[in-house]
Structure 1
C-alpha cells in the first residue's frame, strides 16, 4: 500500500514562503494543512483542502527549541476543520539547522498523545500526519500516526506536478540500451519515465501518435480508454493502422495497444477499456494513474476528465486540433495543448476551452440533439483532420512532458499553447488570464492566507472557551 501526501506546487510555494516570511531568526515555525483522505485498493492519498500558517500573534511561546500555540487559536482550528468539516490534519514544523532533520523524543511523546486525543474525541477519528523540516524548509521527513498513538509509519511527501519524484523513485534494473542516447537528460530520468503511468482517454489520431511517441521515450504503463472502432476515415492519421484492421473491426484501444506492444513485447503494462470515460464503472482505473491525458473530439469527455482531475487532484493534459476554412479558401489550422494547474486556479471550463452547452447536448437524447441541429447549435459535418497537425500537437505534448520530468519545463502555474498554421506561430496564453473567480469547478478549493489570524481575531479573542487539548503539543 502506497501512502502519500501530495501538495500542489503552487500551494506548497505559498506555504513555504509564508513559513519562511513569518519565521523569526533562529526560531521554529509551524503550519497546519487540512486534508481529505482518498483511497483505493493500492493507494492512500491525502489531498489538501485548506492551509494555515499562523503569525506571531497565534503563538503562546516560540523559540529555537520549541513552540506552543494559543489555546483559542488551536481550538478554532480543531472546531472549524476537524469537527465541522471532518478533515484530517497535517502538522509541519521546523528544526534548527540545515541538516536532514529527525523527530525528537519530545516530538514522539506529544505527537503520540495528540494522535490518541484525535482518535478519542472526534467521531470520524482524523488521521495525524506530522512533518519535520530543516530551517530552510528543504529537507524533511513525514510520518502517519495510528489513531491509538501507539505507532507510526513513514509516508511519501510530494510537492511536484507529478507524484513520481527523483528523490522517491524505486530501484530499477539496468536501463535498456534502447535509451542509451537519452542519458544526457540526467540520472533518474529514464527510471521515472519507465515508472510513469498514463491514463489516455481518446485513442484516435492524436492519442495514438501521443502514445507511440511517449512510449518510445520510455513510458510503458498505460490505461487506454476509447469506445470507438477503427474506420476507413481514420487511416489518414493513425500510424500503422490498415484497411485490414478496419475490416476486422479492431477497436481503437486494441490498435494503440498493438502499437505499444511492438515497442515493449515483454515488459509493457497495457490495460484497455473499450468504453467512454463517463461509463467507467471503477474510477480507480483512472485516478490510480500518475497523469490523465485527454485527446478526444468532444466536449463532454473533456469536461468529465477535467472534473476527475480537480476532484482527485491528478495532473491533467488536454490535446486537440481544429481546422477552419475561410470563405476565400485559406485554411486556418490550430493545435492546442492545455495543462491546468494542479489543485485548481483555472481549468478548461473557466478558460473557455469547454463549451458546457455543447457538452450537455453531446449526451442529450437523440430528439434533443436533432432539435439543436435544426436550430444551428451543432455542426453535423465531421471536423476535418490531418496527420501532420495531429503530430505537431502530440509530439509537442510529449516534449513538454519530457521537459517536466527532466526539469527544464515548469507547468506549476499551468500552460496553454496554441499552434497556428499557416502563420507557423506558437501562441502562449498568460495563465492568469484564464482564471475566473466565479468558476463553479476549480475555485471551490479555498486557501487560508497568512493573515488568517487577522481575519478571525474576533473568534480567538472572545470569552475564554474550554480547549479541546491543553497539552503543550508543540514543545520541542
Structure 2
C-alpha cells in the first residue's frame, strides 16, 4: 500500500495578517485579488513535507491585465518580473486568489486549466523542478481550499494550510487512559476542551535537561504535554542535586544521563500514553537536529551560547515557535547577590532573533565550538570565566514556571507573542522588565533578515 505524503503550508500569524491586510486594501470593489508567495520546501520526514514562506508579493492594480468580480489575469511582464526576481532555485510557488461570496469556495474550471498549465510550465522550464501550490479564499479571506500540483500539471492533492502559531491537528484516541486524563485535567476545563487537547498533542523539543529544563518539564508535563524530544549530552552529578526535582544520589552513582532522568519524571506522570525520545548528545549532532525539526515547539534551556545559537538557527530554518530560558547570578561590589532569569520568544518567521537582538554572544558561541587549545588561550586572555555559573532551585523555578505559563497562553490563544517577547526578572528588586521588542529588530541580521 502506497503511503501518501502529507503536505502543509505554514504562514506565521504576523506574516499572514500583513498579507491579508494588503490583499483587502488592494481591492477597490468586490473584484478578485491575487497574491504570490515563494516558499522553501522542508522535508520533515519521509512522508511529511512542509512549505514555509520566504517572500511574498501582492500586485497593485496596474499589474493586472483585467480584474473583475468573476476573474482576473495578470500582465505577462509582471509574471516575468516575479520569476526573474523572486524564484530562487530552492523555492516553490504559491498562488492565492479570492472568489466572490462567503463560505468554503471551490476552484473553478478556469482555475483548473490555468493552474495545470502553469504547474507544467515552472517544472519544465527551469533546472530545478518547482512545484505549484494554489489556494482559493472567499472574499473576506476566511474560508479556503488549498492544493499542490504534480510536476506534470495533471494531478493535484489536498494541502493543509495553517496560519496559526502551532500547526497541530488533534486526533482523538479511544484508550483506557482517557478517563484518567479527564479526571486529571478536570480543574483546567476553564481554558476549554480544545486547549487541553492541543496540549495533549503538542510535541515539544527540549534542549537542555538541567536545573531549568527539569523543572520546566515537570510543570509543563502536569499541564498536559505528553510528547517530548529531550536533548542533552550530560550525566547527573552531585552538584546538580540542589536543583533537580526527584534526582537522587543513587541516580548520580548509576551515572544516569540527564535525558533519562527527565524521561523518568515524565513517565512518573504518564506511565502510559506518553511519547519521550531521548538523545544523549549535543544539539549540534545531525540526529538531534532531525528530531528537533519535527517538533511543534522548540525550547532551549542550556548554559552555553553555542547550543542556543544552534537551536535558534533550527527554529528559523524550520519556522518553529522557539522559547529560550536562562538564569544568571553575580555578586556586586558590596558582596550582595544580583540574580536574573530571562524568557525570550522571538517572533515566528523572523523579524528579530537571539543573535540580532544580541541576546546571545556570538563570540562566546564561537569560542565554545573551538578546540581546547583556543579555549585555553581565550580563557587566559580574560574572554571566558573560569568557573561555571552559580545556580539555585528557586530562581530556576521562577524562570521555568513563567515560561510554562507563557506557553499555556500561547496554546490557549489568550497570550499574543506574534511580535515576540523578552522578559527579565531582577532579584532582589523583585521586578519583571519587559523589553520593547521594536528595538530588537535588525534588518541586517545575517540569520533572520
Using structure 1 for the length normalisation, give the TM-score: 0.90
Query: 1:295: how far off?
Result: 0.3
1:13 is the counterpart of 2:13: no
1:27 is the counterpart of 2:31: yes
Show the counterpart of 2:278: 272
Show the counterpart of 2:392: 386
2:153 to 149, 153, 165: 149
Query: 1:75: how far off?
Result: 1.5
1:53 is the counterpart of 2:58: yes
Show the counterpart of 2:101: 97
CA contact (8 A) 2:89 2:128 kept: no
Separation of aligned partners in 2, 1:244 and 1:86: 52
Separation of aligned partners in 2, 1:115 and 1:279: 37
2:75 to 50, 70, 81: 70
Give a deviation string over 1:80-123, Cα, whole Å, max 9, x none.
333x5452110110111222222122222222222222233223
Aligned length in residues: 439
1:128 to 132, 137, 151: 132
Query: 1:178: how far off?
Result: 1.0
Query: 1:366: how far off?
Result: 1.7
1:43 is the counterpart of 2:44: no
Give a deviation string over 1:15-67, Cα, whole Å, max 9, x none.
11100111121111000001111113242011111100000010010000000
Show the counterpart of 2:112: 108
Secondary structure class of the residue paired with 2:242:
coil
CA contact (8 A) 2:331 2:337 kept: yes
Report the CA distance shift for 1:386/1:86 in structure 2 as closer, same or farther (over 3 A).
closer
Query: 1:144: how far off?
Result: 0.8
Using structure 2 for the length normalisation, give the TM-score: 0.95
Alignment of 1:76-225 (within 5 A): 76-82=81-87, 84-164=88-168, 168-173=169-174, 174=178, 176-225=182-231
Unmatched segments (≥5 aa) in structure 2: none
Query: 1:149: how far off?
Result: 1.9
Give a deviation string over 1:128-179, Cα, whole Å, max 9, x none.
1111111111111111111122221111111122222xxx433444553211
Give a deviation string over 1:204-237, Cα, whole Å, max 9, x none.
0000011111111111111100011111110010
Unmatched segments (≥5 aa) in structure 1: 444-476
Separation of aligned partners in 1, 2:223 and 2:436: 29
Separation of aligned partners in 1, 2:289 and 2:209: 19
CA contact (8 A) 1:43 1:288 kept: no
Show the counterpart of 2:341: 335
CA contact (8 A) 2:321 2:348 kept: yes
CA contact (8 A) 2:41 2:90 kept: no
Divergent runs of 4+, >6 A: none
Show the counterpart of 2:266: 260
Show the counterpart of 1:449: none
1:313 is the counterpart of 2:319: yes
Separation of aligned partners in 2, 1:66 and 1:172: 44
Query: 1:238: how far off?
Result: 0.3
Greater mean deviation of Cα atoms: 374-383 or 408-417: 374-383
CA contact (8 A) 2:282 2:288 kept: no
Secondary structure class of the residue paired with 1:224:
strand
Query: 1:282: how far off?
Result: 5.8
1:355 is the counterpart of 2:361: yes
